[in-house]
Every structure is written in C-alpha cells, then in structure tokens.
Structure 1
Amino acid sequence: MQLSLLILLTTQVVLPAFFLLWLWLPRPRDRLGWAMRVLYGACYFAFIAVIGRWDFLSSALAIVLPIVFVALAAVSYMPVRDRPWNSAASAIRTHGFTAAMAIFFLALAARALSGYGYQDTAVDLAFPFAAGTYYVGQGGSATSINYHHTDQSQRYALDIVALNGFGARAKGLMPKDLADYVIYGHEVTSPCTGVAISTHDGVDDNRISQTNTGEPAGNHIILACGTARILLAHLRKGSIAVSGGELVEQGEPLGRVGNSGNSSEPHLHMHAYLGGTLDYSTGQGLPMTFDGRFLVRGSTVTLP
C-alpha cells in the first residue's frame, strides 16, 4: 500500500475511530478526564475536517464525523455525570499530555484555516466545468492545504476532481483504470474570454501513481485573460480543441481531463499568474475566484 494512502487511512479512519471509542473505553474516572478526552477529540476532528482529503472516502464524512463525535460525546457524559470533577492528585500530571496534544492539533487547524483568505488582487473566472459535483483536492494560501503554495507561480493553484453520488472521486481508493476516476474525460471549458496563447498536445496519459516529470503540465493550454495568464494542465491526449493564437469565449470547450504530465491520477490543475507569459513555471501567482468564491481544499462546487 502506498505511504500516502496508509497515512490517509490512519488519519481519516483509524484515529477518528479511536477518538470515538475513547469517549467510552476505558470509562473516565472523573468528569475532568471525560472533558479532556472530548477536548482532545474535538481538536483532532477540527484539524482533520480542514486538512483531510475526504474525496478519497466520501466528502460527506467531513461533516458527518464531527456531528457523530459531538452526539456521542454528549451521550458519553451520562455514565460519568455523577462522578467527581477531579479525582487525580495532580491534574497537570494526569491530563497535561492530553491538553498539550489538543492545543497542538488546534494550532494545526488554525494554521490551515489561515489559508482560506488571500491578500493579492484576485482574477475572477468562470468555473471550468459544466454539470456535476467537483471537489478541490489542493487549494488555498497555506501549504498545509495546498502543497503548490511553496511555488511562486503556483501559490494559489487548484487541483480539481469530480465526485460521484457517494461523494468519492473514484470507484475505490486507488483504482488502476483511469476510467474509474469520475473526472477522467470530463470536458474542460474556458474560464474566461481571451486568447489561447499556447497549447501543447501529444503526451500520453500516465498509469495510476506514475508521473511524467519531464513534461510537468502534460497536455495543456495557456489562456491570456486580460493581464492574467491561466494554465489548464494534465489534459487528455488528442482532446485539445483550440489552437495557439485562437480567440476563445467563456464557456467554450477547450479539451478533456486526462492524466498527462506530472500527475499521478486524473485531475485538472489550474493556476493563474502575472508575467512569465508562455512559461507557466515563472511569474507571480494570482488568487482565483469563481463568482467571487475563493476555493480551498475541501471546497465543493455543484453545477446543475
């Protein structure tokens, strides 16, 4: 099993199950012990709700699991409500580690939440897909929710996948067939009216978990939308429907999502930048908004 998948299952399945079970077993000796378990669990659920990749399992779990935790925490108070507030000789010695870990995860959640805003002037665009439900796997202005943020030109880049009726991005956790990924083959539409200043085609799709670092963007299109440049990357070979220098209208079909370039599974990579012109790896990254909405990891967009 891949390390990233093992980490995901540990952080989003095993540890949530532990915190739910820990509310009950072993039963807390006093109400302070119960309160510290609730605090620790609440901080962890806050952290994982913000940074988790819930599209691997179901995007609904990001909401359902915290609700279940709150409900079970309330019920778990009943067996300890008549116990003393604190029966430990030293509350700090007994509960200090739990309190420290709660603060640790709360700080991580706060750091991730700092990526929900931006300071630079944003370019407002149309969402580059038609009907469906879409999920942002990477996005925001903090590295904990957007690993692109360390790159100057990609500071506000988005990685977008599509969701099925269960809120998952694919049939299974890591299927080998590209067609099992909901986003694969989806039509990409122009997010603006502008000029396709550069297109590149002819790069084969990668097998799942393999990447092509020699051609990072794979099959891609660069649009000039006013002063901003927009890169749409990892498109399917042979699907690009416009030529370099061609005027495109907002909503016009441009190509289809593939898995070409530095991409381990099908998704659309999108980022905006100033300067750099045809070199998408240079320039100053720009925030993107869609109908005024700044998308971050975990954001969903549903289009009728």
Structure 2
Amino acid sequence: MADPTRFFPMEWPILILLITQILLPAFFLLWLWLPSPADRLGWLTRVVYGAAYFAFVTVIGRWDFLGTALTFLLPVAFVAATGLSYLRVRRRRWNASSSVLRTHGFTAAMAVFFLALTARALSGYGYQETAVDLAFPFGAGTYYVGQGGGTASINHHHGSQSQRFALDIVALNGFGMRAAGLMPENLSDYAIYDREVKSPCNGIAISTHDGIDDNRISETNTEAPAGNHVILACGTARILLAHFRKGSIVVADGAIVTKGETLGRVGNSGNSSEPHLHMHAYLGGTRDYNEGQGVPMTFDGRFLVRGSTVTVP
C-alpha cells in the first residue's frame, strides 16, 4: 500500500522511467558505435558496461508502463548491435592505451556496480520462510506484478514487517501496457480497473470495509491506507486484499468464502495513486493488517516478483 510517488509529483516517476528505460538503453546502443573505440579492449568494456546496465534495468524496470515487449526487444537489440559493432573493431589492436586503468577503469567499475545492483535485486527472487500457497485472485486475462519479491530493490513494501512480501498487481492490455497511455486521467483507461477480485483461498472474511471513494489519478488517501478492503482468514494466515472500488465488495464480515468466489472489484481507494490490487499475507495479526509477520505467497507454487506476468486462460 505504501506508495513512493506520494513524496513527488507524478511527473518525476514518469521522467525517471523514460530516462532509465528508454534514453539510457538508447545511449548504450549508440555508444557501441560512436565515438568509435580505439581498440578491442575499449569496445569490450563498453559491451560489458552496457550488458550490466541492461541486466539491471530488465530486472528492476516497470515494463508495464511502456510495454512488456521491450523487456525482450531491448536486450535483443543490444546483442545485435554488439555483433555488428564488433565487425568495425575486429582488426584493431587489443589495447592501444598506455594505461588500461586510467582509460578503462571507470567503465569497468560502473559495470561492476550495475552487476552488484542486479545481484541484489535477484536475491529477492527467493525466500526462506514457509510460504502460503494461494489461488491467483483474478479471472481470464494477463496480469503483471508491479511490486513484489523479497528485497526492497524490487518491492517497495519490503521494509514493512507485515508487508514484506506484498504484491501490487495490475492487468495488461493488448499492447502489454497497464493503461492506455503513460498516466491517463480516467480510471477506466487502466486495464485492471473494475476487474473482479476472487478469493485466493477457502476461509472466513474476518474484516471488510467499503464506502471510500476512488482517488483521482496521482492522488492518494493516506488516512485510510487500505481503502476498501477485505481481510481473509486462510488457515493460520491472514490475507489482505486492498483498494477495491467503492460499493463493489460483496462479502460481509464473518462470511465463509470459497476459493474463486468473487469478493469485489478493483478500484483506486486508499493509499493508491492508480488502480491496482494490493495483496499481502501475514501471521500473528488479526484485523490490523499493519501487525503480524509478513510471509511469502505462492500461486500454484510460483513465487511472484516484480516483472512477473500471469496469464489466466
């Protein structure tokens, strides 16, 4: 539920996204060609630096904004550019510099830096705790995990004890984007908006809350962070599903729910700057979703992280 965009105007995240996922990849593609490297070692350090950055941005990027196809197209373009650019330097000397460290040290250091950041993000692809296995909470469609995993690099919820393994889930349209545009103002332009949310387990609805208005895009309601929400008791675990559309929740406190039963519809209520479903599991708490110990969730045995896509037939 925590939304870092509340600290900045919405233009800043979009600007950062365009720089990191469009402009910098374009720079690394162009840099293989211009200026032409003096030797093969110079070419190689550029390739390693570029590859390290592409690995980093592929793992931590939010590709649902620009289209998930770029996750594959950009690395393929980099590999093709690498092969073609080598044809220009293959007959050049291995090293034309009198000081390798002075000439190539910074580039090599930056490559190591981005490889370290990538390794840190990838460490969130696993978990050591016992996971709660659930059913995916949506029907037919393709869905994307915007926040998820076991490290803050890929999941901004991870710093919260109860939300350590929380997920933010959006839907993808036919272009592999979460919305019709980068930041459209109409809620209905977001593919996830008004989708039915289904119970991920057999259990009891121990707490429900409805009646909170949807936010306008980029605005949030920090006084009621979960907005309209449902808390399910699924065995020993508690599952919070948050940010429902006002008036859409169809289960009452104390209701017995079955896996796949409709709970409500996705909205933009609470501490949410755009439509999505927030979901986390915790142990030791009851109706207070900020208490308890967050635990991993798996869906048919799959642990979802930022960038994961789920297709439901």
Name segments (4+ residues, structure 1) moved above 2 Å: none
Partner of 2:4: none
Question: How is 1:194-233 mapped onto 2 (pairs within 5 angstroms)?
Answer: 194-233=203-242
1-structure distance, mates of 2:138, 2:174? 17
Q: Displacement, 1:151?
A: 0.1
Partner of 1:97: 106
1-structure distance, mates of 2:166, 2:15? 25
Partner of 1:178: 187
Partner of 2:86: 77
1-structure distance, mates of 2:223, 2:157? 18
1-structure distance, mates of 2:284, 2:253? 18
Q: Displacement, 1:76?
A: 0.6
1:246 to 247, 250, 255: 255
Partner of 2:198: 189
Residue identity in the other structure for 1:179: S
Residue identity in the other structure for 2:133: D
Q: Displacement, 1:63?
A: 1.6
1:44 to 36, 41, 53: 53
Q: Displacement, 1:91?
A: 0.8
2:153 to 144, 158, 174: 144
Point out where structure 2 has 5 or more consecutive residues left out of the alignment: 1-9
2-structure distance, mates of 1:147, 1:60? 24
Q: Displacement, 1:128?
A: 0.1
Deviations 1:235-262 (Å, cap 9, x if unpaired)?
0000001000000000000000000000
Deviations 1:15-40 (Å, cap 9, x if unpaired)?
00000000111111110011011000
Partner of 2:294: 285
Residue identity in the other structure for 1:43: A
2:120 to 94, 111, 115: 111
Q: CA RMSD in A?
A: 0.6
Deviations 1:180-232 (Å, cap 9, x if unpaired)?
00000000000000000110000000000000000000000000000000000
Point out where structure 1 has 5 or more consecutive residues left out of the alignment: none
What is the TM-score with the length of structure 2 in the denominator?
A: 0.96
1:270 to 267, 271, 279: 279
1:28 to 37, 42, 46: 37
Partner of 1:123: 132
Q: Displacement, 1:71?
A: 1.3
Determine what percentage of the aligned residue pairs are the same residue: 75
Q: Displacement, 1:276?
A: 1.4
Number of corresponding residues: 304
SS in 2 for 1:254: strand
Q: Displacement, 1:12?
A: 0.3
